[in-house]
Amino acid sequence: MKKVLAIILIICSLLFFSCKQKQPPPNPPVPVNLITVKSQKVYYYDNFPATTEALSQVDLHPQVQGYITGIFFIEGTTVRKGQKLYEIDKTLYQAAYDQAIANVKVAEGNQVQAKQDADRYTYLNTHNAIAKQVLDHAVITLENAVNSVKAAEEAVRTAKTNLEFATIYAPFDGMIGFSQVKLGNLVTVGTTLLNTISTIDPIAVDFLINEKQLPHYENLQHNRGVLPDSLFTFLLPDNTLYPYTGKISVIDRAVDPQTGSIRVRLVFPNPKLTLKAGTSCVVREHNQDTLPQMLIPGKAIVEQMGEYFVFVAKDTIMAQKSDSTQKKDTDTAEPRPTLRAFQKKVQVGQVLGANQIVKSGIKDGERIVVDGVQAIHDGSEINAGSPDRKSTAKKGESGHD
């Protein structure tokens, strides 16, 4: 029995020592590329999505009812102030005007007759030749005749206005759009839209800014004389640069409380009439900051839940314990310098191609990781070399397949 127990004990001991796992070797340093950051003067543009707008725009509606008898313009062209655009059938309005003129003449005749009667009765009354009541009636008749003339003249003005409204003229110089009515269509007051006309030179460009930027733009608005002419430009939808520069015209009266933004309007000349209202574009504000700024490669910046970080390389000294099977527990290896990457939060600014401005978070002279940021974490040991291009290429090939 003792022999059996001894054999079992030996077997268990062998199994225990055979199953004991070896400590895994420490992770090797991750190969990365480093650059030393340094502030420099940076020239760039702040970009804002924008839309072109007409400085003045009006919808043309008829002020009298009738059938369209004339259209006197070409759609989509420029028109001049006072140019004849539409004509509504004048037959009824001309007849009403002529009748109003005739009524004035009748009223004026009645006024003359009433005036003569009143003068005659006034003379007779001075000699006590008529009753006082007859004179009073004559005076009242004269007053009514005078008022009748005034009413008839007002009717003439109304009829003349309606007759004039039968012809629609351009209210200002601008571009007219597609006609919403054709010859023979019946138009109604307050319902029918005839057309839309808008100014086109100069033209406005509207864009939104954050409320935090409002003091800056108010300063630009009030210091126009000392600003460079090329401060504001914009890109057309085909990404070409518009050849003329603009100036701040209006800053909206209030900030939108829901979005925290406010509208700014620029005005640009449009002598060739190439710009149309409603065009999407990108406003560019030439940055006037002359102080040096930090510009680093964009691939060095890591975004995590809306925050931005970079990895800064620092030399650290780490004390490592020796193997306990070979030395005593109290023995330690000699301290050695180790290059490690530490995560730092930064505030980012404008993106300039493959680079991006960093406003705060890192200082001149610090070394940051540019290549290999995906393979490291805060405190990772790194090696300032090139990442394994072979392994990267293999991954790319396998992913492509």
Q: Which domains does the chain have, with CATH numbers?
A: 26-41+291-321+334-400 (2.40.420.20), 46-56+202-286 (2.40.30.170), 90-165 (1.10.287.470)
Give yes or no for a contact between 350 and 377, defined as CB atoms under 8 angstroms apart. Answer: no
For the residues 139-151, what does the mean pLDDT come to?
90
Residue 394 binned pLDDT confidence (cut-offs 50, 70, 90)? very low
Q: Per-residue pLDDT tens for 114-123?
A: 888 888 888 8
Per-residue pLDDT at 212: 87
End-to-end CA separation in angstroms for the chain:
65
pLDDT > 60? residue 57: yes
pLDDT > 70? residue 386: no
pLDDT > 80? residue 170: yes
Residue 161 binned pLDDT confidence (cut-offs 50, 70, 90)? very high
Per-residue pLDDT at 12: 63
Helix (H, G, I), strand (E, B) or coil at 35: strand
Q: Per-residue pLDDT tens for 87-105?
A: 999 999 999 999 999 998 9
Give yes or no for a contact between 346 and 360, defined as CB atoms under 8 angstroms apart. Answer: yes
pLDDT > 50? residue 395: no
Residue 193 binned pLDDT confidence (cut-offs 50, 70, 90)? very high
Give yes or no for a contact between 194 and 60, defined as CB atoms under 8 angstroms apart. Answer: yes
Per-residue pLDDT at 68: 95
Q: Per-residue pLDDT tens for 172-190?
A: 999 999 999 999 999 999 8
Q: Which of 113-117, 204-208, 218-222, 289-293 has the lowest mean pLDDT?
A: 289-293
Q: Decide: pTM greater than 0.85.
A: no
| b (16+ CB within 10 A) / e for 169-185 | ebeebbbbeebebeeee
Transcribe 318-379 into DSSP letters.
Answer: E--BPPTTTS-TT-BPPPEEEEEEEEEEEEEEEEETTEEEEEES--TT-EEEEE-GGG--TT
Per-residue pLDDT at 396: 37
Measuring CA to CA, how many Å separate 127 from each of 121, 137, 162? 10, 18, 52
Measuring CA to CA, how many Å separate 309 from each of 174, 206, 346, 384? 52, 34, 5, 19
Q: Per-residue pLDDT tens for 324-382?
A: 444 444 444 556 678 888 989 998 887 877 888 888 888 888 999 898 888 888 888 88
Per-residue pLDDT at 42: 79
Per-residue pLDDT at 4: 59
Q: Name the percent of the chain lying above pLDDT 90.
A: 38
Per-residue pLDDT at 229: 64
Per-residue pLDDT at 64: 94
pLDDT > 60? residue 24: no
Residue 225 binned pLDDT confidence (cut-offs 50, 70, 90)? low
Per-residue pLDDT at 231: 85
Q: Name the percent of the chain lying above pLDDT 70.
A: 82
Q: Which element (helix H / strand E) includes 197?
A: strand 195-198
CA distance 187 to 60: 12
For the residues 295-304, what does the mean pLDDT come to?
88
According to DSSP, the β-strands at 336-352 and 307-318 are: antiparallel
Per-residue pLDDT at 132: 85
Tokens of 14: 């062998």
Q: Where are the alpha helices (DSSP H) in 166-251?
A: 214-222
Taken as a whole, the chain contains a residue count of 401
CA distance 198 to 60: 11
pLDDT > 80? residue 401: no
Q: What is the mean pLDDT of the chain?
A: 83
For the chain, helix (H) and strand (E) counts, in that order, are 5, 23
Helix (H, G, I), strand (E, B) or coil at 149: helix
